Structure 1
Amino acid sequence: MQCDYYDAGACRSCSLMGTPYERQLADKQRHVEDVLRTTAAEVQWLPAIRSRESAFRNKAKLVVGGRAGAPTLGILDADGRGVDLRECGLYEPGLAATFDAVHRVVAELGIAPYDVPGRSGELKYVVLTHSPDGEQLVRFVVRSRQGLEAVRAGLPRLRADLPTARVVTVNLHPEHKAVLEGEEEIVLTDERELAMRLGAVTLRLGPRAFFQTNTAVARALYAQASEWADAAAPRTVWDLYCGVGGFALHLAAEGRRVVGVETAADAVAAASAAALDAPGDVTFHVGDATSVTPPGPSPDLVVVNPPRRGIGAGLAGWLEAGSAGHVVYSSCNVDTLARDLAAMPSLRPVAARVADMFPQTRHVETVLLLARRGVEVP
């Protein structure tokens, strides 16, 4: 992939830009295998899940810079000045096509972009998520209710310029912190969730919901977990760190009980609504995946999809001492994955795949099937 922004030194977020894709993928595979060489010595490595080199991102987190009436949408440079990246080649075509309309609306709103060095201004970010149906969730992150009312006043223009914007929200983030969002979210549209149709499964994304930024690779990841689960034929599945239910809903089947656990109440509500169309018995619960015990029978298979810190000693110890015959572990950090595998010697890795969720960067997803020693490998 060639990028004018990278070549000009305007943006260096993609650390592997210019490296041939086959080399990127081979290097990631080699790195993951090296890190897991001790804890997954006998694992069968399946072919890597590939991505498009460009036009793969379904989500854009755009920093608003510039000045009122003449904003930039992209990143900030080292001096805190806005760098406009509307022509970035990483985004899905349908998402990239929204940028100019959003830019026009932001310019016409006349809201002052937040000046990070000066700690002044109002509008911090515009965050857009694009669905396979060509619809968007649009979030404006502002400092105050003055910014909220400005966006509310501009909503008719946004809906006219961007009729595919299904959900529009404002997030209030008054503090000067290096985090994306604040605690309060105000939904301005009748629709509160964006439908993400992934074949037979439709997920529902609220403004704070996590979903993988590469839809095609996410589909393949869920399909791999489903294939392993169908071969293992569990009667009961627990999906810990379930989010909006991506793994749980893909593993749902007639005669199978699936239970999801997630700390975010809004994600659980969205997953529960999506579960109404799922086969089998699928329920979701609010709780800490590292300590909660859902009601009902113990699981035959457990899915864990933790943040970068991994599952930690507590949950690893529970899985090690438990009775689940199989575990599917989806990891975005191979170092914490290796640590967690070392804490679960009774669960041996039997199959694994690298999933290239983020081409042009060193980030990589790894999904493994673990089988308890003495349990038949599917």
Structure 2
Amino acid sequence: MLCTHFDAGRCRSCAWLGTPYAAQLADKQRAVEELLARHRVGTWLPPVASAQLGVRNKAKMVVTGTADDPTLGILDPVGAGVDLRDCPLHTPGIRAALPVLAAFVTRARLAPYDLATRRGELKYLLVTESPDGELMVRFVLRSQEPVARIRKHLPALLVERPELAVVSVNLQPEHKAVLEGEREIVLTDQESLRMRLDGLDLHLRPQSFFQTNTAMATELYRLARAWAAEVAPRTVWDLYSGVGGFALSLAAPDRDVVGIEISAEAVTSAEQTRAEAGLPGVRFEAGDATAYALGQTPGHGSPPDLVVVNPPRRGIGPELARWLESSGVRHVLYSSCNAATLARDLDTMPGLRPARVRLLDMFPNTAHYEVLALLERT
């Protein structure tokens, strides 16, 4: 993979870029196998390789410089902006849109936020591309002051780039390393981005999480569907359900699926997909995954046949792991972006053994990955 920014030392986000791709995969597989070695994995399936170019469906661009000459990219070690609008890791639609968005910053007089002086308004541009080539663009601002100018110039931008389906403003007034704030102002009629994955139309709203590698996300849900079909659960809980990728993928006749997600925005997205797909056996609730499993929230029933967990990097934690160990649940699908915390959680669940594990290279050219493990009761 060729990247002028990496070669020039301007950006090292893809820290493994200088390593041949086959060696990258082998190193990740070896690292995960070592972390899980004490847990008697039944079958290690071969890793799922990713393309190296054009795979990242979301750009998180720090905006620096001036309104007349904005820089979209990252900060270097001394806090100066590095322009990465042509980053080859992003999908083609994002790369095509970023120069146009930079020109829009100038046209709408959106002064980039300056960390040193705490002046300016525009902190980040967040751009997501769907498999259909539609885009969601979010302007992260310090205050609401520039919103009127964005509204004024937005119609011309939508004519210039008709693939812009969702445009919003996120307000982040605090001076700290937090990417976005709580308040979102949607400026378009369309409020969600349709993510078509292998026959499933997921909806992504501005503050919802989605896997950043569309091809690997598609394979992740396909694997989960295939493994679940083998164990044929009648009841499923999808804890940390997000916009519903796992829960909706596992929907089947005569199967009850419940998705639990802390983000109400993500639950709204999941419910929209469920309604459009006509899946009466699936429902979603906003709430804490651990509290739901422990019966601390309304609507809790008997433990299901299958539990799906897709936690953040910190893992599911000891409380939920202890409940899974004692619950009698026969199977768990554990999707992990950090095998170290997966191994720690497995230490708390000795009665659930990894029957099979597969690594998916969600983040090529880095040390990061996604691992799907099917745990079965011993």
TM range (shorter): over 0.9
Q: Residue 367 of structure 2 corresponds to which residue in structure 1? A: 362
Q: Is the 8 A contact 1:354 1:367 kept in 2?
A: yes
Shift of 1:297: 4.2
Flag the 1:235–1:280 CA change in 2: closer, same or farther, 3 A. Answer: farther
- SS of 1:128's partner is strand
5 Å-filtered alignment, 1:1-378, equals 1-39=1-39, 41-276=40-275, 277-279=277-279, 281-292=281-292, 293=295, 294-373=299-378
Alpha-carbon contact 1:236-1:297 (below 8 Å) kept: no
Q: Give the RMSD, CA atoms, in angstroms.
A: 1.1
Structure 2 Cα separation of the partners of residues 81 and 160 of structure 1: 33
**Using the alignment, how far apart are the partners of 2:114 and 2:41 within structure 1?**
53
Q: C-alpha distance in 2, partners of 1:206/1:322? A: 34
Aligned-pair distance for 1:238?
Answer: 0.4
One-letter identity of the residue aligned with 1:127: L
2: CA distance, partners of 1:132 / 1:115: 34
Q: Which amino acid aligns with 1:320?
A: E
Number of equivalenced pairs: 372
SS at match of 2:173: coil
Cα distance, 1:278 vs structure 2:
4.6
TM value normalised by structure 2: 0.96
Equivalent residues of 1:249, 1:278 under 8 A apart: no
CA distance in 1, matches of 2:314, 2:228: 25
Q: Quote the Cα distance in structure 1 between the aligned partners of 2:41 and 2:308.
A: 21
- The whole-number CA distance in structure 2 between the counterparts of 1:160 and 1:65 is 26
Structure 2 gaps, min length 5: none
**Cα distance change of structure 1 residues 249 and 85 upon mapping to structure 2, 3 Å threshold:** same
Cα distance in 2 between the residues matched to 1:278 and 1:338: 38
User: TM-score when scaled to structure 1?
Assistant: 0.96
Decide which moves more: 227-236 or 155-164.
Answer: 155-164
Question: Which range moved further: 333-342 or 113-122?
Answer: 113-122
Contact 1:171–1:181 (Cα < 8 Å) also in 2: yes
Partner of 1:376: none
Cα distance, 1:147 vs. partner?
2.2
Indicate the SS of the match to 1:203.
strand
Which 5+ residue runs of structure 1 have no aligned equivalent?
374-378
CA contact (8 A) 1:255 1:280 kept: no
Q: Secondary structure at the match of 1:145?
A: coil
Is the contact made by 2:194 and 2:204 (CA closer than 8 Å) also made in structure 1?
yes
The change in CA–CA distance for 1:278 and 1:297 in structure 2 (over 3 A counts) is: farther
2:354 is aligned with what amino acid? Answer: P
Looking at structure 2, the residues matched to 78 and 42 of structure 1 have their Cα atoms a distance apart, in angstroms, of: 41
